[in-house]
Amino acid sequence: MSVQTLFKKECIVPDVLTTAPSELLDIQYPSGIRVDLGKELTPTQVQDKPVVKWTPKESEYYTLAMVDPDAPSRENPKFREWHHWLVGNIFGGDMNKSEVLSDYIGSGPPKGTGLHRYVFLLYKQPEKCDFSKIPKLPNNSGDKRGKFSIAKFAQQFKLGTPVAGNFYVAKYDDYVPKLYAKLKG
């Protein structure tokens, strides 16, 4: 199935976006696990920052985001969206030439809240963006990550619709309490 079909089937359109990306984002975790459109992964498997690949245009800038629209649960998404990762001004697809706005935090779905969707989105920027007013968030705190909207962020910086995406689902496992301890700083 296509990225667009699965984004609609899993209600990422309309919960997160109005238009699904058409290209697949290649995401591989250090654990060796690949993100495969909607397949279930565990918080243990996705605890470390993944390697993300796409076919970039060399002189273009990109923004990458990872959001969870199901915080604290899919039935009660009052913190939609919780953003796990936000990187802007990625030059020519090189993640080392970028501006980390929010450092990567793996999945931490609370116990008993079922499966959460973790959505990766890649936007092509019209030009290099001035992100100086965006708070830079470390990976040892969950502050200022809830009630984020990647759609509003994209609108603010004129990013248009995402060019590529991918997602997985995850539910609580025994890594989650370790993640929460880390987030308390």
Burial of residue 162, with CB atoms counted within 10 A of its CB: 0-12 exposed, 13-18 middle, 19 or more buried: buried
Maximum pairwise Cα distance, the chain? 45
| 185, pLDDT greater than 80 | no
Buried b (16+ CB within 10 A) or exposed e, 45-68: bbbebbebebebeeebbbbbbbbb
Q: So what's the pLDDT on residue 184? A: 79
Q: What is the average pLDDT score of the chain?
A: 95
Q: What residues form DSSP beta bridges with 119? A: 67, 167
- pLDDT tens-digit profile of 46-87? 999 999 999 998 899 999 999 999 999 999 999 999 999 999
| 10, pLDDT greater than 70 | yes
Chain-centroid distance, C-alpha 136: 16
pLDDT tier for residue 126 given thresholds of 50, 70 and 90: very high
Tell me the domains of the chain and their CATH numbers.
3-183 (3.90.280.10)
